[in-house]
Amino acid sequence: MIWIIPNIGWSKSGGLSIGVSVVVGIPGGLSAQAGSGYSFGSNDVYGYVGATTCMNTVYASYSLNSGGSVGYTSGLSPFSGLPISTNFGTVVVNYNISLNSWSGNVSAWQIDQRGWTFNPSVSVMLFPEQTTNFIRRGKFINNDAILKTFTDAGDYQGALDYFGFKGTYDPGNKIFNGGSEPGAVDPKTGDIYYNSTAFNGGFDKLYFVADHEGRHSADVRSGKYDNLTLTKQIMAGEEFNTWAYNYRRQGLYREHGFDIGSRLNSYGTVAGIDPDIIFSYSYYQPWWHVIHRIPRRW
């Protein structure tokens, strides 16, 4: 997967800056990235390359004012997936090759030869969907609009391929039995099938269905159900766990349109799961569950 992410940032010492990053992989999870930008405050042009795994990044950078650097950063960097990020959740160690000097920061506190200084920074993604679609399709439009161009043309499989969603568009598959269920997974092979109704609610609905079926598929292919009689109670438990997985990832597809609470309640009931656990999803939601709906890109 390729992401092109324009961003605008501000830091106390560097002032306003703009930049663009090209990221391959799952940014923040397992990715390689390169980018460049311009800082208005220090009138500086910079560029960087980096590799990230599990929020740990090694990078090399170069700026016209400061020269070359290499470093390591850990934490909620601009590649953590949040549309807005700050350096409050990061730790950085940096070595400037040109100046032969060390520096770093813990949260917004920065340290170098001059001692500790408070240097908060914030970065905001700018139109990452539109920019990525512009590079790939030549149209500066969001994912909903891109999806509509595919569905208007009747190219449903093309939409799945474009967004990188695994599975086959197959509304005539006997699994659906002529019904309107948006997706299904073969419990023996893990193959994913989509119905036309997966495409009628915008990108977030399609993303949700693909994420849901993808989780089932991964569970089947992991072998956890091999040599096991797949009873309805086990299947309902798998559904409960998968809807709970989607529940925790709602920030990815906020406009999905599914009543997750009702489905958790129903599948939990069928699976014989403790009602007190089921109800916490639909009736007694703890206040902190709001974190699941914080918008994020990945």
Regarding 175 and contact with other proteins (CB under 8 A), the answer is yes
Burial of 14 from C-beta contacts in 10 A (0-12 / 13-18 / 19+): middle
Task: Tell me the closest approach of the beta carbon of residue 298 to other proteins, in angstroms.
Answer: 22
Of 100, 113, 276, 288, the one binding other proteins (CB under 8 A) is 276
Q: How far is the CB of 263 from other proteins (least distance, A)?
A: 5
Which residues lie below 8 Å from residue 155, measured CB to CB, with a gap of 6+? none
Q: Which is nearer to other proteins, 114 or 174 (CB)?
A: 174
Tell me if residue 52 falls in helix, strand or coil.
strand
197 binds other proteins (CB under 8 A): yes
The answer to whether residue 267 forms part of the interface with other proteins (CB under 8 A) is yes
Least distance in angstroms from the C-beta of 26 to other proteins: 24
Give the residue carrying structure tokens 């939409």: 159
CA-based torsion, 187, 190, 194, 200: positive or negative: positive
- Least distance in angstroms from the C-beta of 203 to other proteins: 17
Q: Is 232 in the site for other proteins (CB under 8 A)?
A: yes
Q: Which residue stretches of the chain are H helix?
A: 128-137, 143-152, 156-163, 203-221, 232-248, 260-271, 275-282
Q: How many residues bind to other proteins according to rule CB under 8 A?
A: 39
Residue carrying structure tokens 């990945």 = 298
Applying CB under 8 A, the span of 27-35, 101-109, 135-143, 227-235 interacting with other proteins comes to 227-235
- Of 163, 236, 256, 151, the closest CA to residue 195 belongs to 151
Residue 239 CB, nearest approach to other proteins (Å): 7
Q: Does 297 bind other proteins (CB under 8 A)?
A: no
Segment contacting other proteins by CB under 8 A, of 21-29, 58-66, 138-146, 225-233:
225-233
Give whole-number Cα distances, 179 to 174, 183, 201, in Å. Answer: 10, 11, 17
Under the binding rule (CB under 8 A), the answer on residue 277 touching other proteins is yes
Sole binder of other proteins in the list 262, 283, 293, 294 (CB under 8 A): 262
Strand 192-194 relative to strand 109-112: parallel, antiparallel, unpaired?
A: unpaired
**Sole binder of other proteins in the list 100, 113, 177, 227 (CB under 8 A):** 177
Of 65 and 233, nearer to other proteins (C-beta) is: 233
Span near other proteins by CB under 8 A; candidates 23-31, 112-120, 128-136, 181-189: 181-189
Phi first, then psi: give them for residue 273, nearest 5 degrees.
-90, 145
CA distances to 26, 184, 231, 235, 263 from 270, in Å: 35, 19, 11, 9, 11
User: Residue 28 and residue 85: Cα distance in Å, rounded?
Assistant: 12
Given the rule CB under 8 A, which residues bind other proteins? 175-177, 179-187, 197, 209, 212-213, 216, 230-233, 235-236, 238-239, 242, 259, 262-263, 265-267, 269-270, 272, 274-277
